[in-house]
Structure 1
Amino acid sequence: MVSFFKLLFKLGIFCFFLGSIALAGAYFYFSPKLPDVESLREVKFQTPLRIYSQDEKLIAEFGEKRRTPINFSEIPPQFTHALTAAEDSRFFDHFGIDIKGLTRAAFQLATTGKIQSGGSTITMQVAKNFFLTRERTFTRKFMEILLALRIEQELSKEEIFELYINKIYLGHRSYGIQAAANVYYGKDIENLSLAQHAMIAGLPKAPSAFNPITNPSRAIERRNWILKRMHSLSFINDQQLEEATKSPVTAKYHTSDIELRAYYVAEMVRKNLYDKYGENLYTDGYKVYTTLDSSLQSSANVAVSNGLIAYSERHGYLGAEAKWDLTQESMVEIQKKLNKTISYGVLKPAVVLSTGDKEAELLLKDGEKATLKWEGMSWAKPYKSVNRVGKSPKKASDIMATGDLIRIREKDGELHLTQIPKVQGAMVALNPQDGAIVSLVGGFNFTHNKFNRSTQAVRQPGSNFKPFIYAAALDKGYSAASLINDAPIVFHDKKLEGNWRPENSSKKFYGPTRLREALYRSRNLVSIRLLRAIGIDTAQSYLDLAGFDRTKLPNNLSLSLGSADVTPLQLVTGYASFANGGYKVNPYFIQRIENSFGEALHTAKPLTVCSECTEEIPNKAPRIYDEKVTFLTYNIMQDVIKRGTGRKALVLKRTDIAGKTGTTNDQKDAWFSGFNRDYVATAWVGFDQPTTLGRREFGGTAALPIWIDFMREALKEKPENAPSPPEGIVSVKIDPKSGKLAYPGQSDAIYEFFRKPNIPRGYASPSSSRQSNAAEELF
């Protein structure tokens, strides 16, 4: 018997040495094929592009994988306990492999011929996730073990754990625990409860099977098993176990936490950077900080939306978007169809369930029912054309019927019938001191139509162009008091394809008119005569300095009426020179770009106005216009608001704002561009396929209200900021009729600003002034 045990012992030793030789041989065979573990220190996780406002509000996220890598120090200890309890309870003690787990896996392989449970440690899973395939073979498993041993030699436990929790897939496009916390709970991992930590810790084993959204019952089983494991390992006490086990499933799908609607700008950023970074843009974790001010962008969003809805509603109701037969479909099917109907901003879909005399019952997208009162729908005269609406409705059934798919919005706390506007608009605002785009809206709704009208819509600016013609004339020696005849004129010009008989919008003529009054009253015939006097080439050169494309400037007198082709962004950039005292700035929207490590790859260095600088400094904006000319132009445009076509802006109760309306032929485009020294903004309204907005729609009707709504919020906390007269500008009294110096004691004399060389030389005569007043009274 003793000799038998000796024999068995010797056989065991022989098998051990034979196994050792086999393992050593396998090691030397596989070892050269192992990848460089050191590369894990340089690993780059696929992280989406994220775009922010200047005040760090998230605007957009581009990329297939939602991932937010975090450091080990940011992982809550409670989650570390939950994950190790679920995946590898001895992780912080073993050397990369778990002998007990591997023995179990080897026994399963020997008895079944297949690997059923891998016996994998977290370190082995890191080896597999970063370097190996997911095939279940002995070769891959052995490579995994060898790699795990090497990883443990090269990296600390904390580094290994950090790699694991940032790499793993956890369902619903989420990679890593931070992304999973955001997706399932809308919070960061550090803000989750014990039950929620355990729920996420249960996902690596099978993200689909244990998913709390798609399979909550199995997810609870997995979570509670992990909680019991945590209790058995003394990570939590009895009370924590009981409370967490009783916690209900609170997970629901959370999209990226977009904090600011600025989709047109987000697309501008994406397109701009894709040319440089290619597909890596969506995976390398870039963060882009734009120049947008979140409060100003929100104000612009609301202003454009309200302005276009107001235009749409004052031209009548277009009717239901669709008609659904409620007798042929169940309410469940109707609700499903309604849930699939896209909401556009504040415009929500609803289905009419029934109509009463002065109200209608609606089914809303959230499954609730609501009553639309008469006050919210009585506006809805039927649309006939842009110039005509039908009769006023008398009852709800005159407007809608059962089964109508309609749009509603909240107004003054009540539901209000509305519709998706067919008209479009744009608004862009800059800081005139450096060209930073602080807000930009490219249309009514990006989801509805992605065409960016602020940067891509090339339209005629109409009278919005006149300030540049007047400024060029002031630069050539004209003054605000210069008289130009507002009288009929006919041009025989081959470039204009025959006779041209321009008119004022009022169809009236007013005779000799001071330049100031001609601009704030937007007199077309004065602008034409002024352009003819200074020369088209002079005006084009002046516009060229402001950044307008000279090839798109007409080479005829129609230039004075704004027949050039410009975008809202080009126009607002030109106006910035009036707001900042005559300097050229370039619009920009990317302030800073960072890589995934927070290192700055790009920081904007814009041309910046520095009027007080006596020496040349880097990136100093060049002066393109004389400061005295821009002061006079600014001052005249203040009168556009005080007494001209922009009088609606008096509601802002500010004396420092200036601007100009613009309306093109047949009211196809409506504009307002205005500013003070803090902000310059342009609003545009029109149809994508140019057609009339209606005979009562002008720049002051359609575009100015949008500008007012924006500036009301933009300037709310800003003190008055108008420019002071620069050296060389004087104020003298003049006769308002002749533009000459006022005679002593003249009662109707007014003050006017002049450059010193342009002060009138003669005085008005009392008799001519009285005759002018008498003639005015006759008319």
Structure 2
Amino acid sequence: EDSDFYKHKGISLRGIVRAQWENFKNIILQLKKEAKPHGGSTITQQLAINTFLTREISLNRKLKDILLALQIERSFTKDEILEMYLNEIYFGHGAYGVQSAAQMYFSKNVQDLNLAECALLAGIPRGPSYYSPILNQEVSLKRRNIILNRMFKLGYISKEDMEKAKQSPIELDYSNKRDKLTAPYFSTFILSQLLEEYGANVIYKGGLKIYTTLDLEMQYFAEKALQESGHEGAIIAIEPQTGYIKAMVGGKDFGESKFNRATQAYRQPGSAFKPFIYLTALDNGFTPSNIIEDSPVTFENGWSPENYEKEFSGPVTLREAFEHSINVVGVKLLEQVGIKKVINYSHKAGIKSELRPDLSLALGTSEISPLEIASAYATIANLGVRVDPLSIIRIEDYSGKIIKDNIPQKKKAFKEETCYVLINMMEEVIKRGTGWNAKIGRPAAGKTGTTDDFVDAWFIGFTPELVTA
């Protein structure tokens, strides 16, 4: 991105002005509320930061990197600076330097890379986790093509070379000893958070001690359960009183797929969404003994919801409808309670994804992640007290000083008595309803969920001590 590298003396006034203008638009005018501050740093300044400084955002740090950049420019040639930068920069997954990255992603020496592979690597340092071709191949591909466009615009490659490289698929020959981790999906999940907050230098070279919420025994049994199921999927377990993530399995084989289905897979939950409709109803005057007719209905838009068995049961109580996951009753209840109100209750419980504001919401047609729905069920299990999920308890620096201490943040979301009634209904789902296979010999509550043709199959269950999706 530092296209004037061979022209400037270590700092780029144009780059600083451009960065401050972007900061003004994004932060002051709030055109992009979640955008991070831009610094306008040159390659020389980034070398100074990576080698001598921290990622602290402050005027004092900025002045230091400017002074160091000017000194570096006086002491080394441009080619030497670029070589040092390429040997120092972080490319994700523990790889520092372009040679390490070439070996890790392609099992090649850097001089043997083709144009498409070079452009792919060039795009990673801006956001090593986000642009990782291992974790986000589609995003990485788009970033690679932006780099190729930029190289053509600056005259480094011909249009023919650009088009040819853009047509090349991403072909990785990935090899990384760091992947042989305990709980690899959980480890990479917290690593991406840490890199975002502290930067690669501090994380890999700072001697930090990171205390996590993971329970290794639970993790072992979660991994074993998914392996023995014979299916691809995810498991996540949360302690409702603290929000601590006790186990996380993002797939059957981390070596084959780094995609974390526990946090990154947004799928339709089917009937596993229904507790939030019933929660809203119970909190607004309905009782488990209220009766709704399970009978054919066609709405104004022509939609006629169906039950799984393609049959109707006539008048049923809400308790019976919930136990047996009767779709038509769920849709009718949603209509009576109000779609907006149910969406509001769902978000209060802990679901963060956007939910479709229509009656198909009762059938769980809005995609959410296992982490989200486990967190929202945890609010119910915790009798209406919401605690956001936590994966890191505290972080200490090399001297033992605590630099981060995560204390669970609790917020009252729903009335205790409402949650108690809903939990009782969810216990019946396991005792004699659709979740009877989940009987564990002790009181437990939960809900099943499937989508058409069993493309997705869910079960979210809990005891007072643990929620698992």
TM-score (norm 2): 0.61
Amino acid at match of 1:678: E
Indicate the structure whose relative CO is greater, using CA pairs within 8 Å and at least 6 residues apart.
Answer: 2
Q: Secondary structure at the match of 1:492?
A: coil
The aligned residue for residue 296 of structure 1 is 218
- Distance in 2 (alpha carbons) for counterparts of 1:491 and 1:261: 51
- Alpha-carbon displacement from aligned partner over 1:347-398 (angstroms, at most 9, x marks no partner): xxxxxxxxxxxxxxxxxxxxxxxxxxxxxxxxxxxxxxxxxxxxxxxxxxxx
The aligned residue for residue 539 of structure 1 is 342
CA contact (8 A) 1:285 1:595 kept: yes
The aligned residue for residue 257 of structure 2 is 449
Is 1:634 the equivalent of 2:430? no
- Distance in 2 (alpha carbons) for counterparts of 1:257 and 1:553: 35
The aligned residue for residue 743 of structure 1 is none
The aligned residue for residue 31 of structure 2 is none
- Distance in 1 (alpha carbons) for counterparts of 2:453 and 2:379: 30
- Distance in 1 (alpha carbons) for counterparts of 2:290 and 2:182: 48
Amino acid at match of 2:244: A
The aligned residue for residue 653 of structure 1 is 441
The aligned residue for residue 457 of structure 2 is 670
- Distance in 2 (alpha carbons) for counterparts of 1:667 and 1:293: 31
Q: Secondary structure at the match of 1:491?
A: coil
The aligned residue for residue 428 of structure 1 is 236
- Alpha-carbon displacement from aligned partner over 1:421-462 (angstroms, at most 9, x marks no partner): xxx200100000010000001111111100011111111110
- Distance in 2 (alpha carbons) for counterparts of 1:653 and 1:279: 47
Alignment of 1:540-689 (within 5 A): 540-549=343-352, 552-607=354-409, 621-650=410-439, 652-654=440-442, 656-682=443-469
**Pick from 187, 195, 199: which aligns with 1:274?**
195
Q: Secondary structure at the match of 1:454?
A: coil
The aligned residue for residue 315 of structure 2 is 512
Tell me by how many angstroms 1:500 deviates: 1.4
CA contact (8 A) 2:335 2:359 kept: yes
- Alpha-carbon displacement from aligned partner over 1:101-133 (angstroms, at most 9, x marks no partner): xxxxxxxxxxxxxxxxxxxxxxxxxxxxxxxxx
Is 1:503 the equivalent of 2:306? yes
- Distance in 1 (alpha carbons) for counterparts of 2:315 and 2:385: 33
The aligned residue for residue 28 of structure 1 is none
Is 1:286 the equivalent of 2:208? yes
More strand as a share of residues: 1
Q: Secondary structure at the match of 1:456?
A: coil
Tell me by how many angstroms 1:277 deviates: 2.5
Tell me by how many angstroms 1:577 deviates: 1.2
Is 1:526 the equivalent of 2:329? yes
C-alpha RMSD over aligned residues? 1.9
- Distance in 1 (alpha carbons) for counterparts of 2:352 and 2:198: 29
- Distance in 1 (alpha carbons) for counterparts of 2:254 and 2:361: 33
> 1:534/1:256 Cα in 2 relative to 1: closer, same or farther (>3 Å)?
closer
Tell me by how many angstroms 1:549 deviates: 3.0
> 1:571/1:475 Cα in 2 relative to 1: closer, same or farther (>3 Å)?
same
Amino acid at match of 1:600: I
Tell me by how many angstroms 1:257 deviates: 13
CA contact (8 A) 2:179 2:255 kept: no
CA contact (8 A) 2:351 2:375 kept: no
The aligned residue for residue 272 of structure 2 is 464
Tell me by how many angstroms 1:664 deviates: 1.1
Poorly superposed stretches of 4+, deviation over 3 Å: 255-258
CA contact (8 A) 1:261 1:298 kept: no
Q: Secondary structure at the match of 2:273?
A: helix
Q: Secondary structure at the match of 2:346?
A: helix
- Alpha-carbon displacement from aligned partner over 1:672-705 (angstroms, at most 9, x marks no partner): 00101100010xxxxxxxxxxxxxxxxxxxxxxx
Q: Secondary structure at the match of 1:488?
A: coil
- Distance in 2 (alpha carbons) for counterparts of 1:265 and 1:559: 30
> 1:518/1:257 Cα in 2 relative to 1: closer, same or farther (>3 Å)?
closer
- Distance in 1 (alpha carbons) for counterparts of 2:178 and 2:248: 22
Is 1:305 the equivalent of 2:202? no
TM-score (norm 1): 0.37
Amino acid at match of 1:630: C
Identity %, equivalent residues: 43
- Distance in 1 (alpha carbons) for counterparts of 2:421 and 2:374: 19
Tell me by how many angstroms 1:256 deviates: 8.7
The aligned residue for residue 195 of structure 1 is none
- Distance in 1 (alpha carbons) for counterparts of 2:279 and 2:198: 43
Q: Secondary structure at the match of 2:411?
A: coil
Query: Structure 2 regions of 5+ residues with no counterpart?
Result: 1-176
- Distance in 2 (alpha carbons) for counterparts of 1:641 and 1:257: 38
Query: Structure 1 regions of 5+ residues with no counterpart?
Result: 1-254, 312-423, 494-498, 608-620, 683-779
Higher Rg? 1
- Distance in 1 (alpha carbons) for counterparts of 2:378 and 2:319: 20
Amino acid at match of 1:580: N
> 1:591/1:488 Cα in 2 relative to 1: closer, same or farther (>3 Å)?
same
Alignment of 1:106-505 (within 5 A): 261-280=182-201, 281-307=203-229, 309=230, 311=231, 424-493=232-301, 499-505=302-308
Q: Secondary structure at the match of 1:455?
A: coil
- Distance in 2 (alpha carbons) for counterparts of 1:679 and 1:428: 10
